[in-house]
Chains A and B, each alone.
Chain A
Amino acid sequence: MPRDNNAQRWQLETHRTDGNGLEIAFAGRWCLDQALPFPDALTTELTDSIDRLTFKTDLSSWDSGFLAYLFRLLKLCAEREIQVEQEGLPEGVRQLLAMGNAVPEQKIAGRESEKPLLFRVGSAMLDFLQDAPASLDFLGEIILAFGRLFTGKTRLRWGDLWWEIEEVGPRALLIVSVISFLVGLILAYLGADQLRMVGAQIFIADLVAIGMVREVGALMTGIIIAGRTGSAFAAKLGTMQVNEEIDALKTLGISPIDFLVLPRILALLLMVPLLTLYASFIGMLAGLMISVTIFDIGLFEYYNQTVSALELEHFMVGLIKGSVYGAMVAYSGCMRGMQCGRNATAVGEAATSAVVTGILLITISASILTILFYQIGI
């Protein structure tokens, strides 16, 4: 309990003692909940003429604040070669200061916090260049794993595959429905505006049908799956990396690629084409509803126009694109997860990078496939 108001606050006085000594008198309350002074303020008193420091204390209470003050003060004195006599300090304080100085400070070389800009640009570039062989390496491992699967050298865990299939397929239906419906609606409006000028509004049906089946259905599904499933793959595999679960598989001689990556890639390869078909269908349904209700096109007229516009090869193109996008998402999600570092930040980075890589790969392969199909005329 404080004895008076002065005891509520820290107090500090310095006196010159005989010869070259300085005495510091601490009194009152030296606790963290108030603004404590910093010992560097004493430098004016700690002149060259002083070679001995003593203490006198009359403290009502103290905590780490007081300790930190003394800790710093002792460092200052050591720099100035001032001899310190700790007898005047409370017993507990002396013990803790002794503990704090028991292990000498480690001088660790080469830990600069701020690197120059050019250095950071360069090292980012090197990281990027190193990423390419690592990605190819991972691709190679997946191909080898498929080889083992087809030659019967590894057994697929059907339970895991079914679980992944349910997770990436049926559970994505709702979001795929909503987005495909709205995209179908946008396509119908876009077509209606342009085609009205030439009085050919009935061709909304062709635009929506071919657009959804060939391109947009697969593209939207790919992007949804990249955001929804690619990130989940990376986060889950990354967390398993943090918990050393992947190391545990390796030490048992089980290939983490066979065990964890194969079922995920297969699940996406099987499900994304189906989701693509479903998305195209929902998009066409949206086009039909908008055309019939808003643009006064007859229901059967629209239906017949759609049927005559679609050919089998449109579906083939859509399905091929869907499979490729699914493979890209599975590849980037699993790769980033398996490459994950061993802490919480790394898991976040892996998930982000999985989505970014996935969407980038989808866009690149979409361009290549579109040009390719145009060249071979389907």
Chain B
Amino acid sequence: METPISIEVRDLTIAYGDHVVQHDLNFTVNTGDIFVIMGGNGCGKSTLMRSLIGLQRPAEGSVLYSGRDFWNVDHDEHQRLKRRLGVMFQGGALWSSLTLAENLALPLNQYTGLSPQLIDEIVSLKLALVGLAGFGEFYPAELSGGMKKRASLARAMALDPDILLIDEPSAGLDPLNARRLDELILELRDSLGTTVVLITHELASIMGIGNNSVFLDTETRTMIDTGDPRRAVQSGDPKVRHFLTRGEA
């Protein structure tokens, strides 16, 4: 393992053409954090994540991974940094023509020189970690919603990423399964030391496992608070408190 990496976002503006989605974002994700990006529908959470994982170039500002400017390093370095990120997309994004085992093995075959036997073993370990032992030969279409979420978490972890970025993990899950997924993320963070960036508007997740956060506002199109969400609900900006108490404060 290389030295653990942190994320620094500096004066970031994200936009679609002339339409500014969010501007002047400044926050830091420390190693080992469970960092929550929160905000109402349409505030730009997913767009911000696309800038963090290399799918959408920001209009201005920079994203620094351990001090290296993600969008302005050379191609090889950009790819190397990307490989240290694991991404779990909102809809799972499992490749539908591959079995679960093949979904997990693809990045390992692509980027490591491991023996096929060891890759098989890693795949069955990762599936076991998310509670899907024995489902390797299934196609994504044959799984329930909750199983797809867990499988896509397993794929995001296939290359042992330093940073795991997760878009709406609990969307479409029942409260118990949502909580089990939160606990799973927490356990993986504790055992593997992975930094987690979580996009969610699920209060239970924000308060339950988040220890750092940024709040994106829909009206002013910028961030209005960053820090521990449990502090924010006590003493933060009124808008953040309003959000975190479901409009009761």
- Is the Cβ of B125 less than 8 Å from the Cβ of A64? yes
Separation of A104 and B133 alpha carbons in the complex (Å): 7
Given contacts A64-B122, A71-B121, A92-B191, contact A32 B129 (CB under 8 A): no
**Please, which residues of chain A bring their CB within 8 A of the CB of B114?**
32, 35-36, 65
The number of chain B residues touching the other chain, given as a range, is: 35 or more
Question: Can you list 13 A-B contacts with CB-CB less than 8 angstroms, sorted by A residue number?
Answer: A33-B112, A63-B160, A64-B125, A65-B122, A69-B118, A92-B190, A92-B193, A93-B191, A96-B129, A100-B125, A100-B128, A103-B131, A341-B141
Separation of A107 and B134 alpha carbons in the complex (Å): 6
Taking CB atoms and an 8 Å cut-off, the chain A residues in 99-129 that contact chain B are 99-108, 111, 113
B124 contacts A by Cβ under 8 Å: yes
Given contacts A63-B160, A113-B137, contact A99 B118 (CB under 8 A): no
Given contacts A38-B115, A63-B160, A71-B124, contact A95 B191 (CB under 8 A): yes
- Is the Cβ of A72 less than 8 Å from the Cβ of B121? yes
A368 contacts B by Cβ under 8 Å: no
Taking CB atoms and an 8 Å cut-off, the chain A residues in 145-187 that contact chain B are none
How far is the CB of A92 from the nearest CB of chain B, in Å?
4
**Please, which residues of chain B bring their CB within 8 A of the CB of A99?**
128-129, 187, 191
- Is the Cβ of B118 less than 8 Å from the Cβ of A38? yes
**Please, which residues of chain B bring their CB within 8 A of the CB of A62?**
1
**Please, which residues of chain B bring their CB within 8 A of the CB of A42?**
none
Separation of A353 and B140 alpha carbons in the complex (Å): 23
- Is the Cβ of B97 less than 8 Å from the Cβ of A344? yes
- Is the Cβ of A61 less than 8 Å from the Cβ of B129? no
Given contacts A35-B115, A343-B141, A344-B97, contact A100 B129 (CB under 8 A): yes
- Is the Cβ of A64 less than 8 Å from the Cβ of B137? no
How far is the CB of A301 from the nearest CB of chain B, in Å?
60
- Is the Cβ of B115 less than 8 Å from the Cβ of A32? no
B149 contacts A by Cβ under 8 Å: no
**Please, which residues of chain B bring their CB within 8 A of the CB of A31?**
1
- Is the Cβ of B134 less than 8 Å from the Cβ of A343? no
Separation of A308 and B139 alpha carbons in the complex (Å): 64
B126 contacts A by Cβ under 8 Å: yes
B159 contacts A by Cβ under 8 Å: yes
Separation of A102 and B125 alpha carbons in the complex (Å): 12
Contact mask A68-112 → B, CB, 8 Å, 1/0? 110110000000000000000000110110011111111110010
A16 contacts B by Cβ under 8 Å: no
B207 contacts A by Cβ under 8 Å: no
Contact mask B157-183 → A, CB, 8 Å, 1/0? 101100000000000000000000000
Separation of A199 and B249 alpha carbons in the complex (Å): 99
A67 contacts B by Cβ under 8 Å: yes
Task: For B98, give the chain A residue with the smallest CB separation.
Answer: A345
Task: For A112, give the chain B residue with the smallest CB separation.
Answer: B137
Separation of A283 and B139 alpha carbons in the complex (Å): 50
A196 contacts B by Cβ under 8 Å: no
- Is the Cβ of A105 less than 8 Å from the Cβ of B134? yes
- Is the Cβ of B112 less than 8 Å from the Cβ of A106? no
The number of chain A residues with a CB under 8 A from chain B is 38
**Please, which residues of chain A bring their CB within 8 A of the CB of B133?**
100, 103-106
**Please, which residues of chain A bring their CB within 8 A of the CB of B193?**
92
B96, B125, B126, B131: which contacts A343 (Cβ < 8 A)? B96
B20 contacts A by Cβ under 8 Å: no
A71-B125, A103-B132 known; 17 other A-B pairs, CB under 8 Å?
Answer: A63-B1, A63-B192, A64-B160, A67-B122, A68-B122, A69-B118, A71-B124, A71-B128, A95-B191, A96-B129, A103-B128, A104-B133, A106-B135, A341-B141, A343-B97, A343-B139, A343-B141
Separation of A108 and B128 alpha carbons in the complex (Å): 15
Taking CB atoms and an 8 Å cut-off, the chain A residues in 177-227 that contact chain B are none
Given contacts A63-B160, A343-B97, A343-B141, contact A96 B191 (CB under 8 A): yes
How far is the CB of A317 from the nearest CB of chain B, in Å?
45
Task: For A93, give the chain B residue with the smallest CB separation.
Answer: B191
B1, B128, B192: which contacts A105 (Cβ < 8 A)? B128
A342 contacts B by Cβ under 8 Å: yes
Task: For A343, give the chain B residue with the smallest CB separation.
Answer: B96
Contact mask B89-127 → A, CB, 8 Å, 1/0? 000000011000000000010001111011001101110
- Is the Cβ of A343 less than 8 Å from the Cβ of B129? no
**Please, which residues of chain A bring their CB within 8 A of the CB of B157?**
64
How far is the CB of A79 from the nearest CB of chain B, in Å?
15
- Is the Cβ of A61 less than 8 Å from the Cβ of B1? yes
Task: For B135, give the chain A residue with the smallest CB separation.
Answer: A106
Separation of A99 and B189 alpha carbons in the complex (Å): 13
